[in-house]
Amino acid sequence: MKELWNYRHLAFKLAMSEFRLRYKNSILGFFWSLLEPLLMLLVLYVVFTNLMRVNVKHYQLFLLMGIISWNMLSRGTSMSLNSILGKPSLVKKVYFPREVLVISSCATALLMTLLEFIVFGIFMLIFNVKPAITIMYFPLVLFIEFLLILGLAFGLAALNVYYRDIQYIWAVILQAGFFAAPIIYPMSIVPEKYVWIIMLNPMTRIIDMLRGSVIYSTSPLFWDGIFILAIALVVLSVGYLIFRRLEPGFAEEM
């Protein structure tokens, strides 16, 4: 752990360089990456307000918050999946704690998400929605989400070195997870008997709390907060244990 701390600036360096590389050769830079969620927002908005008639206050913001926070998870985990496997020379030719690679991938995803949240802020201005004091819960919940992502990323990145189809399986799980969380729909339209399935998804509570604290000026419920924190810590411990267990064989397996 202490060793990892010594390499913190390497994790930061790698995250920054990957972040910059992403937009290095394009004129519009990171706006391209914003285009995707915005387009998705537009389509979903049109479909759900005109065709399905979902009745949610500030539906545009509701939707955008859902998409951005879900994207953080899906981007963070997908990028981390290849964080070990995609850098054979770093793994086979030099030594530094391999955790650095996973952490830096997650950090890159976090950086990209933060940019999207800036855009979200602009949207709030446009729609004239003013956040209340409850917005102070926002960074806290986001941090818990980050811990959850980190836990998943450790486990997935390590397993992917040994079993290459983890990445495809995970893509399917992400797809399912997107619909099994109240991202495009509110919890109110879910039939009673299926609610427990949706609530099993830790992202349900996380997205709900993020929305509440920023858009609807509501404080998260204490036990909901404890619940997701507990889940995030369990996932992080399990993921990290898997990672530690598999880590000695990385250089041989690649």
Partner 1 sequence: MTGKDVIVVKDLWKSFRLPHEKKNTLFEHLTGSFYGKQKYEEFIALKNINFTVKKGEAVGIIGENGSGKSTLLKIIANILRPSRGSIKIYGKITPFLELGVGFQPDLTAKENIYIYGAIMGLSDKEIDNKFGEILEFSGLKQFQDAKLKNLSSGMQVRLAFATAVQTDPQILLMDEVLAVGDMGFQQKCLNVFQQYLKERKTIVFVSHDLNSVRRFCSKALLLRRGEQVAFGDTNEIIDKYVYGTGDKERHAGNLESEPKIEGQKGDVQRKKTRWGDKKVEIINVKFIDKFNKENTIFNSGDPMTVQINYNVNVPLDNLVIGIAIYSDSDVMCYGTNTDIQEFATNGAIGNNEIKLHIHNLIMTEGKFHLTVAAHSKEHTPYDWLDKQFTFNVIRNGNNAGLFEIPCGWKQ
Nearer to partner 1, 11 or 44 (CB): 11
The H-assigned helical ranges of the chain are 2-6, 8-24, 31-46, 59-81, 88-93, 99-126, 137-162, 166-179, 195-200, 202-214, 222-246, 250-253
Q: Residue 174 in contact with residue 204, Cβ under 8 Å?
A: no
Rg (CA), the chain: 19
> Residues 98, 238, 145, CA angle at the centre, nearest 5°?
85
Alpha carbon distances (Å) from 165 to 27, 71, 161, 162, 172: 35, 22, 10, 9, 11
Nearer to partner 1, 102 or 210 (CB): 102
> Is residue 174 involved in binding partner 1 (CB under 8 A)?
no
> Is residue 57 involved in binding partner 1 (CB under 8 A)?
no
> Is residue 25 involved in binding partner 1 (CB under 8 A)?
yes
Residues 70-89 that bind partner 1 (CB under 8 A): 87, 89
Q: Residue 108 in contact with residue 138, Cβ under 8 Å?
A: no
CB of 83 to partner 1, least distance (A): 13
Nearer to partner 1, 50 or 89 (CB): 89
Binding footprint of partner 1, residue count (CB under 8 A): 29
Residues 141-170 that bind partner 1 (CB under 8 A): 162-166, 169
CB of 155 to partner 1, least distance (A): 14
Which listed range, 8-16, 68-76, 114-122, 197-205, lies at the site for partner 1 (CB under 8 A)?
Answer: 8-16
Residues 87-106 that bind partner 1 (CB under 8 A): 87, 89-96
Nearer to partner 1, 8 or 57 (CB): 8
Three state DSSP letters for 3-57:
HHHHCHHHHHHHHHHHHHHHHHCCCCCCHHHHHHHHHHHHHHHHHHHHHCCCCCC
Which listed range, 16-24, 73-81, 110-118, 238-246, lies at the site for partner 1 (CB under 8 A)?
Answer: 16-24
CB of 164 to partner 1, least distance (A): 5
User: How far is residue 78's CA from residue 220's CA, in Å, rounded to a whole number?
Assistant: 28
**Site of interaction with partner 1 (CB under 8 A):** 7, 9-10, 13-14, 17, 20-21, 24-25, 87, 89-96, 162-166, 169, 248-249, 251-252
